[in-house]
Chains A and B, each alone.
Chain A
Amino acid sequence: MTDVDVLSEAFELGFTYTRSTGPVMGRFLTALRDKRIEGIRASDGRVIVPPMEYDPETAAALDEFVEVGQEGEVMSWCWVSEPRRAHPLQQPFAWAMIKLDGADVAMIHCIAATDEAALHTGARVKVRWADEPRGHISDIACFELAGVAP
């Protein structure tokens, strides 16, 4: 057998257009750049974070923004012992539903923790900001246990 030349070419699947994120998501993402978290008040009074553009029940356009806290409570979580290459953390970590202080609906993000035993439902967590926020959901680098030295 002689060596076979394998033809290969990098292929990146992408849609090379840009679009505005609009007045609701755009405001949320811009606030992240300033290390603030804004939710939106739904017609039933609940504060939803990240904000939704339209009311989940009435479909009315929503525009009452509410700044919420940067700490919250773990409502559910799972432990990723083998992170995938695409995941935001490459050490074992948790995905979680986190209800921020002042919010009524949880959000999904990741938690950096030393091991599975360190976490439990109801645990208090706080935001760890990215070093250089840019107006993107990943400006929240992850959450970490509140009251635990990093």
Chain B
Amino acid sequence: MSAQREIAIVAFHQSPCQASAGAANEVELIMPELRAVFDQVGLANAQDVDFVCSGSCDYLQGAAFAFVAGVDALGAVPPIRESHVEMDAAWALYEAVLKIRMGHADSALIYGFAKSSPGELPIVLSQQLDPYYLAPLWVDTVSLAALQARLMLDAGLITEGDMAEVVKRSRRNAMTNPLAQLAGETSVADLLAKPHYLSPLRRHDCCPVSDGAAAMIIATVEQAKAWGMPYVRLSGIDHRIESHNLCLRDLTDSVSTRKAAAAAGMNAGAVDVAELYAPFSHQEIILSRALGLGEDTRVNPSGGVLAGNLMMASGLSRIGEVFQRIVAGEAGRGVAHATNGPCLQQNLVAVLEAA
């Protein structure tokens, strides 16, 4: 295994976070994103990359093997080498990285997509829980996050004001993000004056439901240079998972995030920017603390997923956001985080560096 093959991110694009994509189907959400990344590199189609990997969730479409329909967006004739993860597309990126590092591909297209609006997302996601003890109760993901927030509040680790501060900063940062769904100036006092939704959470502590897709192209550094593309080095990527038994975990911390960050080499240098996949305000605080981020790091300059959450693609988008800021010269080194599962069960950390 040639583990030393360096990975370059060369292109990224995501759709706007829309509360509802209307009549557009999943393929119609994916296709513009694929076209955008192909055009960024000057490729014709999926035939021009060695490997394709996608991330999505069949439960959101409500049919087994629904992800196969997404392949229609690729035009997979003649046959292509293609794979899929039933996870956020950040994990599809992870698979593609392994494929390139093993020398089985020199370039890869990654995409993630979901149209979450037609269903009742928190209830759909309840079915990812333990199938005997929790899924039959239909305990939803927002409620589980609320239990986590209460643990933090009771332990004095955060205040509701701290949570509102996260939301205020997200909304403000999102004002410069044209793809965001929720943006604007607000104040901690205004936010705290809002009623509880799922106490102790208020509605604004929870990310919105958004439809959309995102796509990325990665390659070996040699291939990126051959394409003549500006690129960003993906210097490290790692993911860790915690127990499915929520009551066995310390929900006020994210041990798996800290381990993934260490394994990805985050601590080898300064972190100018961090994009964290925190679907709930208190989770951004958990993640920032687990990663040890200080005042030198800009956290979620895009607004993060509190401003718009593309299920199955927001993790990949966190990596894409950091990629874009490094390419633009706004940052030299950054960290992107992705999560899957209830209460930050599984976490991926990627480290990106200017070439």
Q: Which residues of A contact B (CB under 8 A)?
A: 13, 21, 25, 29, 48, 50, 52, 56, 75-81, 84, 86-88, 95-97, 105-110, 116, 121, 136-138
- A137→B133 contact, CB < 8 A: yes
Q: How long is the Cα–Cα vector from A17 to B137 in the complex, in angstroms?
A: 20
- CA A76 to CA B154, docked complex, whole Å: 8
Closest Cβ neighbor of B137 among chain A residues: A88
Residues on the B chain within 8 Å of A84, using CB = 120, 122-123, 138, 140
What would 8 more interface pairs be, CB under 8 Å, given A81-B198, A84-B138, A86-B120? Answer: A13-B62, A21-B132, A48-B245, A81-B196, A81-B197, A87-B140, A108-B137, A138-B137
Asked if A78 meets B134 with Cβ closer than 8 Å, knowing A56-B248, A84-B120, the reply is no
Interface extent on B, as a size class?
Answer: 20 to 34
Across the interface, B126 reaches (CB within 8 A) one of A29, A76, A86, namely A86
> Are B136 and A136 within 8 A (Cβ)?
yes
**B137 near A109 (CB under 8 angstroms)?**
yes
Contact between B247 and A108, CB atoms less than 8 A apart: yes
- B150 and A108 within 8 A (CB): no
Q: Are B147 and A77 in contact (CB under 8 A)?
A: yes
Which are the 6 A-B pairs with shortest beta-carbon distances?
A: A78-B146, A86-B138, A79-B199, A106-B247, A95-B143, A76-B150
**Residues from chain B with Cβ under 8 Å of A110 in the complex:** 137, 139
A80/B123 in contact, CB under 8 A: no
Whether A97 contacts B247 in the complex (CB less than 8 A), given A13-B63, A78-B199, A81-B199, comes out as yes
Chain B residues near A78 (CB-CB < 8 A): 143, 146-147, 149-150, 198-201
Q: Are A116 and B199 in contact (CB under 8 A)?
A: yes
- Check if B243 is an interface residue, CB within 8 A of chain A: yes
Write out the residue numbers on chain A whose beta carbons fall within 8 Å of the beta carbon of B148: 76
- A77, B139: Cβ atoms closer than 8 Å: no
In the assembled complex, the Cα of A84 lies from the Cα of B199 at a distance in Å of 15
CB-CB nearest in chain B for A107: B247
Q: Shortest Cβ distance from B195 into chain A, in angstroms?
A: 9
Given contacts A78-B201, A79-B196, A88-B138, contact A105 B245 (CB under 8 A): yes
Q: Give the Cβ gap from A82 to chain B, nearest Cβ, in Å.
A: 8
Residue of A nearest to B58 (CB): A13
Known: A79-B196, A81-B198, A81-B199. A108 touches B132 (CB 8 A): no
